[in-house]
Amino acid sequence: MNAEHAIVTLGFRRWYERQLLESHACLITCFLCTILLAVCLEGAMPRSGMGSTLGALLVAMASAACAVWSWNHYRVVFSRAERYGNVAHCEHCGTYGKFEVERTKAGDRIGEPVLKVRCRHCSHRWSMPDARH
């Protein structure tokens, strides 16, 4: 589900919370894969047989790939959530995360549209994310 559709259907606050949960789950996955990588490299020492060494190296390669993917996914999701979160407050009344999406247009980043929003409290309009922050 893209950001525009998710914000419209879930609401900003719920979308933002889910983005933070997803990104931090990826960070934990990266951490666990890094630990698994260290354990597998320790297990691949030449004191055991060739079969167990090869198996440990294969698991080490898979955990390294998973750690890299998880780290990259964490950075993308977390930075997107922060870009939207930094401009989710109304400049006029200070209300955070309570707005309606009026329309969208394609943004500079893939999968990250620019939303034209209106505050539910004071009806002020602004774009998010924008160049203010």
Q: Is residue 78 one of the residues assigned to a domain?
A: yes
33 occurs within a structural domain: yes
Q: What are phi and psi of 116, to 5 degrees?
A: -95, 115
Is 133 inside any structural domain?
A: no
> What pLDDT shows up at residue 122?
92
Confidence grade of residue 36 (pLDDT, cut at 50, 70, 90):
very high
CA angle at 66 for the pair 19 and 40, rounded to the nearest 5° = 140
Overall pTM surpassing 0.85 (yes/no): no
Q: Measured between alpha carbons, how far is residue 81 from residues 25, 34, 61, 86, 97 in Å?
A: 14, 25, 30, 9, 12
* pLDDT computed for residue 97 by the predictor: 87
* Percentage with pLDDT > 70 across the chain: 86
Domain of 89 in residue numbering reads as: 3-128
Let me know if residue 106 belongs to a domain: yes
The answer as to whether 80 is a domain residue is yes
Domain count, the chain: 1
CB 102 within 8 A of CB 125: yes
